[in-house]
Chains A and B, each alone.
Chain A
Amino acid sequence: MSSAQSEIQNPQLERVAEALPVFFIKPEQGLISLGLRELWEYRELLYFLVWRDIKVRYKQTVLGAAWAVIQPVFMMVVFSLFFGRLARVPSDGIPYPIFVYCALLPWQLFAHALTESSNSLVANERLITKVYFPRLLVPVSSILGGLVDFVIAFVILLLMMAWYGVRPTWAIAALPGFILLAMASALGVGLWLSALNVRYRDVRYTIGFLIQFWLLTTPVAYPSSLIPGRWRALYGLNPMAGVVEGFRWALLGKSEGPDALLTVSVVVVILILIGGLYYFRRMEAEFADVV
């Protein structure tokens, strides 16, 4: 009776009421869901955050997007000179400059993504304490911004391939998979570090060290074929080893295809990522109180 009455009074309002989303606010308890569906609902904000990072990065710089090229190219020159020419590090029969540049690309993408995502929550403190949105957007968006640099630097690689006469094979189709793997590695570790960084600001000091250390244990300047065969799978515990080897295989086609090393890398990344997601979600409730 009463509902019929109100329907007569204001049918439109009544219909709106049915469609309204309902949110429940409760203390966090029990198993946490990852909230991936909500993440999808906020995809426009994700887009704007990435767009902001990209726009802001090259404002007020003289060289602008050239920076995306300068860094890996200079690294390549230095590596080629010292490791390739002077130390005569082997490069699986591939010309050393393209051998190292091909590895520097995913490495830079990874290193940039890791640094940015680890600092992302602290850097976006104002947003976190004043507006609600799924906090996962912050590290995720900080990682995606690096893709633009990657694409620009990739053009140089294509030019180098033409110069050295490297003909890509069908394996190039697997490249997006390796890019994804590099980003997932960075995100997985970045989730842990960003959440820890909110609590303990020491984390930011460890990141520079961590990246240096990681670079040395990744086959960027040297081929993974230097690793004795029985240790190869173990070497895959460093997911970037799998990524770098994958890049060389997909683009330069010289080394052998995916093997146990890559399998181990993929498994490791999945574990770190899932662990990172859950850890992040568990810490999320107190970000706004602590940051």
Chain B
Amino acid sequence: MSSDVAIRCEGLSKRYRIGQQERYKALRDVIADTAAAPFRRLRSIVRSGNSANGNGSEIRNPQSASRNSHIWALDDVSFEVKRGEVVGIIGRNGAGKSTLLKILSRITKPTKGSAEIHGRVGSLLEVGTGFHPELTGRENIYLNGAILGMRKAEIDRQFDEIVAFAEVERFVDTPVKRYSSGMHVRLAFAVAAHLQPEILLVDEVLSVGDAAFQRKCLNKMQDAGHHGRTVLFVSHDMSSITRLCERALLVFDGRLVNDGPAHAVVKAYLDANVGMAASYEWKDEARAPGNEVVRLRRARVCTDDGKPAESFDIRLPFKIEVTYEVLKPGRILIPNYHFNNSSGLCLFAVQDTVSEWRYRPREVGEYTSTAQIPGNFLAEGRHIIDLVISSHVPSSTVHLCERNALAFQIVDSQEGDSARGDFTGQMPGVVRPIVKWVTEPVDLSSAARNRID
């Protein structure tokens, strides 16, 4: 029956212009562009002077062509969500998850396609949207509640509960600029958790806040699902997806590539090559992971002599090469790579402690940081790398954290010189070092003598 459908999308597509890193323009630039255009054209005519009788397409500036090219952030996405379903959306950064939520929450319009939404929508794309530091906790609860779509009467009714949930009773009439960051986040979550629309759209917002409070919010959201509320939930945290959602959608390059039971889709995402590869390049600078200090350009896993590969011999060392662009000088940057296995367990993290840049502030420009991982170390199977670039001074800052950025396979050798030797069964464990073995009889001569006696 159509009345238990909460969301129905048909062919949703959204096109963005590439290179919108400088998103708004100054009129000055438009004028300069327009004024320069005839000269550019003139120059290219002169340059292509020999073939001047050629066609118009030759004359056109190649740069302007690339500047006008577009990417489909969302490409022909269709699905249906039933009322009361809790659906997770997964995929790597820039796959189109957030764009999808933005379209469904009506923040931006699709370029093509349509969607039908049955019920009031509450979207939570950011925690504490509209919080004003000068206003008190009480005032911000009302303001933020109204912004998220709550009626005043609704806020009145739940006010005490929100304050208690946030554990800020004593500070409710203090301006939030005097709140600790933890209190700030708790208050923002508390308002959001009391949102009671029929449909709730949640972007990766649970990544902030302390673990205990996160759990409290997750429980509150789960309650929401059980009360017939529909929840669409974007996260990079696979364990919360499998815990919270019965169903998951996998988005890759703007397309919906997998839709099914959450645990199956998560497993497929972590196992298969969908959305993760041994090399990746962030072509659109505007959407590359990073902040105003540093931005990822490309990353890859390769053999020790620099050949690209997807799978590696367990016995041989290999390298992780990450190229990033430093946009702001004067900071000491520490690249660190986190290794996870396919069940999501973090095996270890490595960070640059030795290179000359360890204590040297960076200048603006591109850098490549390479970590060599020894052979005979990781166990066979699929491994997934999170890329992080952080600073410890002046304060501990994570400039970028790209989860599930790279994936590769470790393959064990059958030649008998790896840690498994000639054993062909399943080896337990997440690492597979070759260790030095010594086996010798304990005082054989005396044991032998005893037996003889």
Contact = CB atoms under 8 A, between A and B. Distances in A.
B215 interface: no
A60 interface: yes
B26 to A, nearest CB: 5
A44 B114 contact: no
A128 B126 CA distance: 12
B3 A14 contact: yes
B110 interface: yes
Given A25-B104, A48-B147, A132-B106, A202 B27 contact: yes
A287 to B, nearest CB: 9
| Main DSSP-derived SS at the A contact region | helix
Nearest to A45: B146
Interface in A259-291: 285-286, 288-291
Contact of A22 (B108, B110, B116, B175): B116
Contact of B16 (A20, A23, A47, A289): A289
Interface in A1-38: 2-3, 6, 13-14, 17-18, 20-28
B421 interface: no
Interface in B333-367: none
Contacts of B12: 25
Interface residues of B, number: 54
Contacts of A167: none
Nearest to B146: A48
Contact of A52 (B111, B132, B151): B132
B275 to A, nearest CB: 24
Contacts of B148: 131
A198 interface: yes
Interface of B: 1, 3-4, 12, 16, 20, 23-28, 30, 83, 102-121, 123, 125-126, 129-130, 132, 134-135, 139, 142-143, 146-149, 151-152, 175, 198, 228
A159 interface: no
Nearest to A129: B107
Contact of A24 (B3, B27, B115): B115
Contact of B109 (A13, A17, A25): A25
Contacts, number: 132
Interface string A193-207: 000001111110000
Q: Which one of B103, B130, B151 has the highest number of Cβ atoms from chain A below 10 Å of its Cβ?
A: B130
Residue from B24, B26, B120 having most chain A Cβ neighbours under 10 A: B24
Nearest to A24: B116
Contacts of B116: 22-25
Nearest to B13: A27
A27 B4 contact: no
A56 B134 contact: yes
Interface residues of A, number: 46
A28 B109 CA distance: 7
Contact of A45 (B27, B113, B147): B147
A130 B125 contact: yes
Given A55-B135, A56-B134, A202-B28, A131 B125 contact: yes
Contact of A44 (B16, B27, B120, B146): B146
Contacts of B198: 20
A52 B143 contact: yes
Contacts of A52: 132, 135, 139, 143
A17 B134 contact: no
Nearest to A124: B130
Given A26-B114, A127-B129, A130-B125, 14 more contacts: A22-B118, A24-B115, A25-B104, A27-B114, A44-B151, A48-B146, A60-B134, A131-B105, A131-B125, A131-B149, A133-B149, A200-B25, A200-B27, A290-B23
A133 B24 contact: no
A130 to B, nearest CB: 5
B30 to A, nearest CB: 7
